[in-house]
Structure 1
Amino acid sequence: MLDIAWTPTLDTLTRNAWRLSFGGGIAPVERTPSTLIAEGPHRDLYRFDGNSISDDRPVLLVPPLAAPAQCFDLRPGQSLAAHLVDSGKATYLLDYGSMGYADRGLGFEDWIEDIIPTALEQVSRFHDEAPVDLIGWSLGGTLSLLTAAGRGDLPIGSVTAIGTPIDYRAVSMIAPLRTVGRFTGDRPLTAVTGMMGGLPAPLVQASYRFTALQRELTKPWFIARNLHDTETLARMESIDRFMADMPGYPARFFQQVCTQLILGNALVAGKFETRNGPLSLADISVPVLAIGGTEDVIAPVASVRAATEVLTGSPSARYESAPGSHLGLVAGPTARTTTWAHIDAFLDDAVARIA
C-alpha cells in the first residue's frame, strides 16, 4: 500500500512547476547579513553580522576572480560564511566586484601585493593585531597561497585552499590546451582576450557550464524527477544564479593564468613570476590545508594534493578530500559534514599551535 506520508502532493508539484516557469524562482535570494566596513576598487570588505567581537582569531574569505564573492554564501544551508559565524568565528569577505576593459592591466600582483594584504591588515587591526586565517576557493586559494609566500610579514595565521589546483598536469580537461601550447605558446588563448581587455563574463559563464556539461544536458530530467523536492530545486537554482553572476577576467590576469599556471605549470615547481620578482611556495611558513573534491574536474584531487609536496616551509601542510564538484566542495549538500568539518578541525589545530 502506498505510504501517503511520502507521496508528493499535487499542490507541491504545481507550485514548484509554476515558480520555475513563471513565478520568479523556487526560493528568494537570502544572504547572511553583513556590513560593508571598507570599500575601494575591487576591494570591498564585508564583515558578517554575528560573533564579530567575541573571537580573537578572525577569518577572511578570499574568492577567486571570475566568480561572484557569494560563492561562500549562496543561501541558507549552502553558506560556509554562515557556518563560520555560527561556530563563533569573526568572518570577513573580500568582494572584487565586476571587471571591465579599464581593468585590463590588473594581474596577480595587484591582489597578492595590494588588495589581499590591505584587507588582511584591516581585519587584523579590528582584532588587536591578531593573526588572520585565510580561506580561499579555487583561484582564491592560489591568491591566498601566493600572498602568504610573498609577504611573510603579514599577520596570517593559516591558509585553507579549497579546490585549488597546484599540478595542472593532473587537470585532464585542459590537457589539449597544454598540448597545443607546446607549439603555439599562449597566443591562441590570449590574443583575442588581450584586444578585448580580458575574458568577458559571458565566456566565463559558458566555460564553467561546459565543465558541468552533463548537468546542463540532464537538467530537464533532473527537474522533472525532483519537482516534488523543493529543497533540491532550491539548491539547483542557487547554482544557476551563481553561474549567471560570474564576472570576467582582466587581460593580464588571464594571460598569467594561461602562461604560468596552465602552460608553465609553475606552482608544481613551487614558483610564480611577478613583475616584481619570483615567489616561492616554499617560503610559506604558516599551516596550510588543501581540500580536493572527488568529483571535481576543474581541480582533481591529484592536482590539489600536490600542495603537500611543494609547501616545504609550512609547519603543517595537510590534505583532505571531500565528495563534491568544484562548487560542491564549498556549497554542496554534504559540505557541512565534510569540507566544513575539515576546516573546523584545521582552524582549531592552528589556534592550538600558538596557544
Structure 2
Amino acid sequence: MVADVKAEAPAWSEKLMWGALNALERYLFSENFFIANLSPYEEIYRDGIMSVRHYLPLEEDEIQVGDETVPVERVRQHTPLVLVPPLAATSMIFDVLPQRSIVRYFLAKGFDVYLIDWGEVTEDHSHLSLETYVMQWMPDALRQIRLHSGREDVSFFSYCMGGLLTLMYAAASQDPNIRNLVTVASPVDMHQSGMAGRVLSLVYRPANIISRVLNFSLMDLPARFLHIPGWVNSLAFKLTNPMGSLISSLELLVNLWDREFVKNHTTMSQWFNDMVDYPGQTIKEMLVTMGLQNQMARGRMRMGATSAEFSAIKCSILAFAGDSDKLVSIKAAHKVLDIVSTEDKEFCVAPGGHAGVFAGAKAPQNVWAISADWLAQRSGEKTSQT
C-alpha cells in the first residue's frame, strides 16, 4: 500500500535562493517571464502601424481557462468575430495569458477570430485622428476580413475605447452587415464617467463661453502639443487604484520564489506598464467632441465631413460594465442602449474593475461566457471547421 504524499512547501532558505535568482533574471532578461501573445495567427493586412490578425484554430481537444477545462468545439460559428482593442492598451490584452486568453476562449467556442491591431503609436503619429481609425482603418480592416473569411456578416467584441470606435464606425458607415456588437466598459456618456466626467460636465458651459469670447478652441492647437506618451497613460491608470498597485508589488515580493507566479505577474503588469501613446489629434477630438460636448451621448457626432448617427445602428448589442470600475461608471456604459435604435439590446453589470471586468479572474465565467452564448445565438447556422 502506497501512502499519499503531499508536496511540501519549499523551506525559507530555498525560497530566498529562488527569489533572488528569479529577481536577477527578471531584471536582466524580463522577456523570459513574458507569456502573452502566444496564440498562433497570420497577419492578413497591414497599413502603416495598423494590422489585422487572423487566429488559427486550436489543435487541442480542450483548453484550460482559469481553474476550468473548456472543450474545443470543432463546429465553427457562421459569423466571424472581430476583436477591437482600445487605443492606450496593446492587443496583448486579448491574449494576455495562456490560461486567461480571450482569443483562445472564443476559438474554443467555435468562433473564427480576427483582431484589429492599432499598432505602436509614436510622436510621429500625432496626426492620427478619430477619422483615421473610424473612416479609414476600420473599413479597410473589415474589407480584408470579409475577403479572407468569405462572410459578409461580422460580429464585434470590443473593450473600452475599442467599443466607442466600433460604435462610431457603425453609426457613420451604417454598415448593414454588422450582425452583433459587444462592448465592455465603453464610456458612451463621458459626463457620467467618474470624477473626470463630473469635471467635464461642470466646465462644458464655461468652456463654450470662453471659446466664443476668445474665438479659440483646443481644436486650433497643433496636434503635437497634445500628444500623450504611453508612460503618462500608465501612470494615470495606476493612480486610479494606488493601493491596488502597492498590494500587487508586495504580492510579487512575497512570491518571487514561485516562477509561475512571477510569469503571470510580469505579463499582467506589462498591460499597465507598457501602454501606448495617444495621438495628439485624437486627444483633441476626444477632449472636445467626446468629452466637453459629449456628442456620443447626444446621439450624433461629427466624423470629418460625415455625421455619425447612432440611431442608425440596428445590430444586436450587448453592453457590459464593471461593478467596481473607477474609470467607466455603470451609467456611462449603459448609455449605449439609449442612443441606438435596435430592439435587441441587453446590458449586464459584471464583477471587476476596469481591467478585471474584461480579463480578470472572474471574467471567463461572466463577461466571456455570457458573450459567447449571446453571440452563438445570433451568429447563424454553424459550419464544420476545415
Shorter-chain TM-score category? 0.7 to 0.9
Could you tell me how far 1:190 is from its partner in structure 2?
Answer: 7.7
Aligned pairs for 1:1-355 (under 5 A) are 7=9, 10=12, 11=14, 14-16=17-19, 18-23=21-26, 24=29, 27-30=33-36, 31-50=38-57, 54-174=76-196, 175-180=198-203, 182-184=205-207, 194-196=223-225, 198-224=227-253, 226=255, 233-311=262-340, 313-351=341-379
Task: State the number of aligned residues.
Answer: 352
Rounded to whole Å, the distance in 2 between the matches of 1:234 and 1:189 is: 43
Match of 2:47, SS? coil
Q: TM-score scaled to structure 1, two decimals?
A: 0.88
Could you tell me how far 1:230 is from its partner in structure 2?
Answer: 5.7
Unmatched 5+ residue regions in structure 1? none
Q: TM-score scaled to structure 2, two decimals?
A: 0.81
CA deviation profile, 1:278-298 (whole Å, cap 9, x unmatched): 212111010011111112111
Cα RMSD over matched residues? 3.0
CA deviation profile, 1:154-211 (whole Å, cap 9, x unmatched): 5211111111011222222303354345434699988888343621222222222222
Of 317-326 and 260-269, the range deviating more from structure 2: 260-269
Rounded to whole Å, the distance in 2 between the matches of 1:354 and 1:12 is: 51
Could you tell me how far 1:139 is from its partner in structure 2?
Answer: 0.5
One-letter code aligned to 2:112:
A
Of 300-309 and 52-61, the range deviating more from structure 2: 52-61
Structure 1 residues 336 and 8, CA gap change in structure 2 (3 angstroms) = farther
Does the 8 Å CA contact 2:77/2:380 hold for their aligned counterparts?
no
Does the 8 Å CA contact 1:320/1:342 hold for their aligned counterparts?
no
Could you tell me how far 1:4 is from its partner in structure 2?
Answer: 6.7
Structure 1 residues 182 and 21, CA gap change in structure 2 (3 angstroms) = farther
Rounded to whole Å, the distance in 2 between the matches of 1:309 and 1:268 is: 8
Rounded to whole Å, the distance in 1 between the matches of 2:45 and 2:57 is: 18
CA deviation profile, 1:294-322 (whole Å, cap 9, x unmatched): 121111222111222222x1131111121
Structure 1 residues 28 and 354, CA gap change in structure 2 (3 angstroms) = closer
Of 154-163 and 216-225, the range deviating more from structure 2: 216-225
Rounded to whole Å, the distance in 1 between the matches of 2:85 and 2:170 is: 16
Rounded to whole Å, the distance in 2 between the matches of 1:20 and 1:302 is: 43
CA deviation profile, 1:110-160 (whole Å, cap 9, x unmatched): 122121121112212223233111111100000111111122235211111
Of 43-52 and 60-69, the range deviating more from structure 2: 43-52
Match of 1:158, SS? strand
Match of 2:115, SS? strand
CA deviation profile, 1:65-104 (whole Å, cap 9, x unmatched): 1211112111112211111111111101111212233322
One-letter code aligned to 1:179:
L
Of 15-24 and 272-281, the range deviating more from structure 2: 15-24
Match of 1:65, SS? coil
Rounded to whole Å, the distance in 2 between the matches of 1:22 and 1:189 is: 46
Does the 8 Å CA contact 1:101/1:196 hold for their aligned counterparts?
no
Tell which structure's C-alpha radius of gyration is larger: 2
Does the 8 Å CA contact 2:44/2:52 hold for their aligned counterparts?
yes
Structure 1 residues 202 and 178, CA gap change in structure 2 (3 angstroms) = farther
Rounded to whole Å, the distance in 2 between the matches of 1:281 and 1:14 is: 59
Rounded to whole Å, the distance in 1 between the matches of 2:381 and 2:315 is: 11
Could you tell me how far 1:344 is from its partner in structure 2?
Answer: 0.7
Of 233-242 and 270-279, the range deviating more from structure 2: 233-242
One-letter code aligned to 1:328:
G
